Amino acid sequence: MRGEKIHPISFELLSKGREIAEKTDGEVCTVVLGDRVERNVCLEFIHYGADKVFFFNSPLFSQPNVLNFKHNLVRLIKEEEPDIILIGATHFGKTLAPRVAAALKTGLTADCIDLQLDEKCDLVQIRPAFTGNILAHIKTRTKPVMSTIRYKVMNAGMRDLGRKGEIIEKHAEAPKDRGVNFIGRESSKKLNIADAEIIVSGGRGLGSAEGFKLLKELADLLGGVVGSSRTPVDEGWISKEHQVGFSGNTVKPRLYIACGISGSSQHLAGMKDSGMIIAINTDPSAPIFKVADYGIVGDLYQTIPLLIKEIKAQKEGKN
C-alpha cells in the first residue's frame, strides 16, 4: 500500500506472479497489511490476478514501522510455505525484504529487472551488476526464493472484474523484544522520478552542474521533473535520485527529453519504453537517436532556450 492507495508496483508483481504460476501450475497469493483498509481493496488484487489475498487489518500497520510488518509477514510465510516471494523495490520494500530474508534464513536477490523460468522451471532472477555494465542471471539455492523487483520494469495485467478468488483474514501480532522504538514518520519531499509523466534529462553534454538549471526551467514549464544519465551523478552535478538507467531508475513517462545524452545501453534500458522520446545531441551518430521519436542535431544550449521561449509564448498567448 502507498498510504491509503495501492502502490502500482503491486499490480506489476501480480502480473509476473500470474505468468510464473501458469507455467508451474501454482497459485498466486497477495498479502495486504494495513489499518482500517476496506475489504473491497482486497478485491482489486483478485481482479489483477491473485488467487488468494491474506488480509491483516490492524493499528499495528498505521505507521511504517518495518518491524511490525516483518514480524507478521514472516509468521504468514512460515505457515503457508510459498516457493517464491516477490516484494517491490520501493523505499519501504528495500527495508522490509532483507529483514524477512534474514528471519527466514534464505537468500535475497535485490533490485531485479526481470524474472524467467529455466528448462527445469527454476526461477532465474535478472538484475544489473557491476554498476549496470552486465546483467547477472541468478538462481537461489535456498527456499523460499526471494526477490525485490524494480518499479516500472514489468507491465501490470488487465483488470478482470470476473476473476474469483479467496480473501483470508489474518490476526496481526505485535513482535516482542523489538529493541527499537518507532517515533513517527518524517514528511518527505524526495523525488520519485519513476512516477513522473514528463522528464527532461541531462547527460555528459551539459558540461557542468549549471546546465541542470536550464533543464529545470524547461521541466517546470512542462510540468515535469529533471532526470540524469549516470555521468552527471558520478561527477556530483546532481543527486542519485534523478538517475535514469540500469544503475538508477526505470521510467516510462509520456514524454522523455534527452539533452546531451549519447545513449549508453544502460541508460536506454531505463527509458526506452517512454511514450515519446525527444533527443538533443550534437553527434548525429549518437545511439540515443535510434530510440528517439524526434531528434535534434544541435547544441542544447542553443536549442533549449528556443524551446523555453516558444513554450512561454504559447502560455502567454493562452492567457
Query: What is the C-alpha separation between 23 and 296, in angstroms, rounded?
Result: 45
pLDDT at position 319 over 70:
no
Rounded to 10 degrees, what is the CA torsion of 44, 122, 23, 7? 10
Which pLDDT does position 183 carry in this prediction? 67
CATH class, 193-318 region? alpha beta
Model confidence at 129, pLDDT cuts 50, 70, 90, reads: confident
pLDDT higher than threshold 90 for residue 119 = yes
- Provide mean pLDDT across the span 183-205: 82
Residue 191, phi-psi category: left (phi > 0), alpha (psi -120 to 50), beta (remainder): beta
Tell me, what's the pLDDT at 54? 98
Q: What is the mean pLDDT of the chain?
A: 93
Cell numbers 527532461 correspond to 200
Query: Which is more confident, 54 or 38?
Result: 54
Beta bridge pairs of residue 198: 255
* Whole-number pLDDT of residue 189: 57
DSSP string of the chain, one letter each residue: -BTTB--THHHHHHHHHHHHHHHHT---EEEEEESS--HHHHHHHHHTT-SEEEEEE-GGGSS--HHHHHHHHHHHHHHH--SEEEEE-SHHHHHHHHHHHHHHT---EEEESEEEE-TT--EEEEEEETTTTEEEEE---SSSEEEEE-TTSS------TT---EEEEE---PPS--------PPP-----GGG-SEEEEE-GGG-STTHHHHHHHHHHHHT-EEEE-HHHHHTTSS-GGGBBSTTSB----SEEEEES----HHHHHHHTT-SEEEEEES-TT-THHHH-SEEEES-HHHHHHHHHHHHHHHHHHH-
pLDDT given at position 53: 98
pLDDT value, residue 12: 97
**In the predicted model, what is the mean pLDDT of residues 143-162?**
95
pLDDT, greater one: 314 or 109 = 109
As annotated, the residues of the chain forming the CATH 3.40.50.620 domain(s) are: 9-170
Q: What is the pLDDT at residue 73?
A: 98
Q: What's residue 318's pLDDT?
A: 72
pLDDT band (50, 70, 90) for residue 187: low
The set of cell numbers assigned to 193 is: 522520478
Question: What is the predicted pLDDT for the residue at 134?
Answer: 85
Answer whether CATH 3.40.50.620 is correct for domain 9-170: yes
Rounded to whole angstroms, the Cα distance separating 110 from 232 reads: 25
Integer-rounded Cα Rg, in Å, for the chain is 22
Q: What is the Cα–Cα distance from 106 to 297, expressed in whole angstroms?
A: 51
**pLDDT of 265 higher than 70:** yes
Q: Give percent of the chain above pLDDT 70.
A: 93
The half-sphere exposure of 211 on its side-chain side, counting CA atoms within 13 A, is: 25
Kindly tell me the sign of the dihedral angle through the C-alpha atoms of 40, 45, 46, 50: negative
Instruction: Look at residue 42 and tell me whether its pLDDT is greater than 70.
Output: yes
Instruction: List where CATH 3.40.50.1220 sits in the chain.
Output: 193-318
- What's the distance, CA 251 to chain centroid? 8
Q: What is the mean pLDDT of residues 236-241?
A: 95
Cβ neighbourhood burial of 208 (10 Å; 0-12, 13-18, 19+)? exposed
- In the chain the first and final C-alpha atoms are separated, in Å, by 40
**CA distance linking residue 66 with residue 76, whole number of Å:** 15
The mean pLDDT value for 78-104 works out to: 96
